[in-house]
Amino acid sequence: MIIAELEDDIAIRRVLNGESDRWRVPFTGAYQTIFAGHPYFERFSPIEAEGVYRTLTNTPGNVTLLATQGKDKVVGFGIGIPLVHKHSVASELNGLLPIKHTFYLAELGVLNEFRGRNIGRLLVRERLLLVDREQFSHVVLRVSTNNAPSAEMYRALGFENMGVYMEVTAMRTNGKVRSDRRFFLSRVLSQVELD
């Protein structure tokens, strides 16, 4: 379902359960490319990237948005799930947020050549608008300490640094397993329209 149309034949689509398989392969390629670049330099095999997609799109209550160009190219994505389904993150935030009433913005990425067009901001904004405010009072995400542009975008959208950090260990593009530090940002949801 297309929820916004942008220039250059780019559309923001909400992916519902019945159509998730259609976008699996294009998502996998975009995911691998985006996270291989700055600031993460992470290496994901096609099976691992596909596993991320399948896990998140099969999570009850997920909000999956794709930025697509033409009929089959994924140029960006934003996926969110209820925090209770992301145990590694929920355990880090237990006692700080109401876990059962917090939505987790799990993934956000835009291909390098499509950055600077506010696609990432739109993916965040649209996910926030789709969160069920009857069920969720808070939203949380984590971002690399080396990703200042993303952190600034989130702050402009009303997110605040929680002062909580988490080390994430992953295979890097140089073949080494390394940890990087990510910090959590949160926001109280309200009925107020987002800019």
Domains and CATH numbers, the chain: 2-133 (3.40.630.30)
Residue 190 confidence (pLDDT) above 80: no
Strand ranges inside 6-82, DSSP E = 10-15, 63-69, 73-82
Mean pLDDT for 116-129 is: 96
Burial of 139 (0-12, 13-18, 19+ CB in 10 A): buried
Percent of all residues in the chain with a pLDDT value above 90, rounded to a whole number: 92
Q: Which pLDDT band holds residue 27 (cuts at 50, 70, 90)?
A: very high
Q: Answer whether 103's CB lies under 8 Å from 131's CB.
A: yes
User: What local confidence, expressed as pLDDT, does residue 3 receive?
Assistant: 96
State pLDDT tens for residues 80-119: 999 999 999 999 999 999 999 999 999 999 999 999 999 9
DSSP label at 1? -
Mean pLDDT for 23-35 is: 97
User: What local confidence, expressed as pLDDT, does residue 191 receive?
Assistant: 52
Q: Strands 63-69 and 73-82: what pairing?
A: antiparallel
Residue 22 confidence (pLDDT) above 80: yes
Task: Kindly state the tokens that stand for 55.
Answer: 């896990």
Residue 17 confidence (pLDDT) above 90: no
Distance CA 32, CA 89 (A): 22
pTM: 0.94
Burial of 25 (0-12, 13-18, 19+ CB in 10 A): middle
